[in-house]
A = this chain, B = another copy of it.
């Protein structure tokens, strides 16, 4: 039980994110004693609705989406502290009524305590809500903290992100703004720095002397579902690369933080992001591959002549002493053959290996034999290390084999969902697993630059079949370098 008190207000409390992720996470936190002793949840929506009706709707979602089994009695305890409030968020006048509602909540969880605002909204509402909270003096209080949790996308490009940041920082101080990249709440991302720095064997090898390339993949089997209108305005770069993929890359590649406090980690991530560029000295089409799956243009909400990329593969460089010369290959897309997020560290092949490969061996190719360290982020967290041995019963044939650590197999507990971790952090005031404004700013400027180069080069959009590995051009990008994506 957390020794804090708070009300959590979900703006967008009837939306998809609230139903599928936030309320199931809160229910799990309730079960595992991670909620404050005094806690109330207030969801808002446009429609009028009774508390009872809202509680009932959330119960259905908790049943459906929680990773835990549904326990009627425990749910009832939680549901007694769940409230609904209808409001038109664009209309300033509704916020006074919200203030009254908050006051009426029981002591300990009323407006004289701590309030967590969660913006589970369409991005265009981030600014008006923030402004209206300020106008109605809901943004700060002498009685407790007021924290703003804001979902990605944080802006659409560098300019709009800056605009948004100006508006919200007028209402909330930087320390009270929690910008969510839910990948940072995933167990394996929390684990990257631990793996790197509390083990003796990785850090000495973690540089361009030993590492040949870094590959980060976040592929989805789903298409865009009902989010066609949003996605057509966004695309794979804005939706995934600017946030999740850059964060995975940053944690993989940062210098050791001086300390493990959030500020030191943010500073190192920022330093790292500043050094990311497109790979120099090759034509743009060899380092940017955008793809669109067949029939994307026929999806609901998508423009019939859409040029939005649903797939993106990039070849980047990290321009610092540790990584210079090591290509970073990123890849993400919708409607692909496999749902997976992973980081593959490909080590160099020792120069003497040719003398160990026997003539006539089935593996006469050194490109089959790099050591690979794979960090599996989802769906099943784990670490896999590929290395070479003498094939048993042969004189000296070299074959690659794998060692596997499967986290859910080793720990027979349900790994907490990212949102459980992040909500707990926000209530506790721990900003480690949230994205700093400077990081977002820097990530947008890289993305803006990539779009610019891409458009300048002619913006060629490759088609790909749903269920495939993406466009052939993404495979060619690596084979041109005598490399391959490790599937």
List of B residues within 8 angstroms of A414 by Cβ: 393
Task: Give complex CA distance A118, B398 in Å.
Answer: 31
Whether a CB of chain B sits under 8 angstroms from the CB of A144 is no
- B352, B353, B370, B401: the one contacting A405 at CB < 8 Å is B401
Task: Give complex CA distance A367, B150 in Å.
Answer: 42
Whether a CB of chain B sits under 8 angstroms from the CB of A231 is no
Report yes or no: A392 in contact with B405, Cβ–Cβ below 8 A.
no
Whether a CB of chain B sits under 8 angstroms from the CB of A478 is no
Task: Give complex CA distance A289, B383 in Å.
Answer: 40
Contact status of A347 and B201, CB under 8 A, knowing A402-B405, A405-B403 = yes
Report yes or no: B391 in contact with A403, Cβ–Cβ below 8 A.
no
Residue of chain B at shortest CB distance from A413? B393
What would be 19 A-B contacts, judged by CB atoms less than 8 Å apart? A194-B390, A198-B353, A198-B388, A198-B398, A200-B370, A201-B210, A201-B371, A201-B387, A204-B204, A383-B387, A383-B389, A384-B403, A387-B405, A389-B407, A392-B411, A393-B416, A401-B405, A401-B410, A403-B403
Report yes or no: A403 in contact with B387, Cβ–Cβ below 8 A.
no
List of B residues within 8 angstroms of A401 by Cβ: 405, 410
Task: Give complex CA distance A392, B369 in Å.
Answer: 32
Known contacts A197-B352, A204-B205, then 8 further A-B pairs from the complex at CB < 8 Å, ordered by chain A residue: A194-B396, A197-B350, A198-B398, A204-B204, A204-B210, A383-B387, A392-B411, A392-B416
Report yes or no: A200 in contact with B194, Cβ–Cβ below 8 A.
no
Residue-wise, chain A 348-361 has the 8 Å CB interface mask toward B (1 for contact) of 11101101100000
Whether a CB of chain B sits under 8 angstroms from the CB of A362 is no
Contact status of A404 and B407, CB under 8 A, knowing A195-B389, A392-B187 = no
Task: Give complex CA distance A370, B201 in Å.
Answer: 10
Task: Give complex CA distance A44, B134 in Å.
Answer: 101
Report yes or no: B355 in contact with A200, Cβ–Cβ below 8 A.
no
List of B residues within 8 angstroms of A402 by Cβ: 405
Task: Give complex CA distance A190, B398 in Å.
Answer: 12
Smallest CB separation, A132 vs chain B (Å)? 35
Contact status of A197 and B356, CB under 8 A, knowing A391-B411, A411-B392, A413-B393 = yes
Report yes or no: A200 in contact with B259, Cβ–Cβ below 8 A.
no
A201-228 residues at the B interface, CB under 8 angstroms: 201, 203-205, 209-210
Report yes or no: A200 in contact with B210, Cβ–Cβ below 8 A.
yes
Residue of chain B at shortest CB distance from A260? B355
Report yes or no: A356 in contact with B260, Cβ–Cβ below 8 A.
yes
Smallest CB separation, A212 vs chain B (Å)? 9
Q: Considering residues A352, A356, A385, A387, which has the most beta carbons from chain B within 10 angstroms of its beta carbon?
A: A387
Smallest CB separation, A235 vs chain B (Å)? 33
Whether a CB of chain B sits under 8 angstroms from the CB of A415 is yes
Report yes or no: B393 in contact with A350, Cβ–Cβ below 8 A.
no
Task: Give complex CA distance A355, B265 in Å.
Answer: 14
Task: Give complex CA distance A391, B411 in Å.
Answer: 9
Report yes or no: B392 in contact with A413, Cβ–Cβ below 8 A.
yes
Report yes or no: B390 in contact with A191, Cβ–Cβ below 8 A.
yes
- B198, B205, B259, B350: the one contacting A198 at CB < 8 Å is B350
List of B residues within 8 angstroms of A411 by Cβ: 391-393
9 closest pairs, A vs B, by CB? A403-B403, A200-B347, A403-B405, A194-B390, A198-B388, A199-B387, A198-B356, A191-B390, A200-B371
Q: Considering residues A384, A398, A411, A416, which has the most beta carbons from chain B within 10 angstroms of its beta carbon?
A: A411
Smallest CB separation, A185 vs chain B (Å)? 12
List of B residues within 8 angstroms of A190 by Cβ: 390, 396
Residue of chain B at shortest CB distance from A414? B393
List of B residues within 8 angstroms of A385 by Cβ: 385, 403
Report yes or no: B392 in contact with A415, Cβ–Cβ below 8 A.
yes
Residue of chain B at shortest CB distance from A357? B198
List of B residues within 8 angstroms of A353 by Cβ: 198
Smallest CB separation, A206 vs chain B (Å)? 11
A158-216 residues at the B interface, CB under 8 angstroms: 187, 190-191, 194-195, 197-201, 203-205, 209-210
Report yes or no: B387 in contact with A415, Cβ–Cβ below 8 A.
no
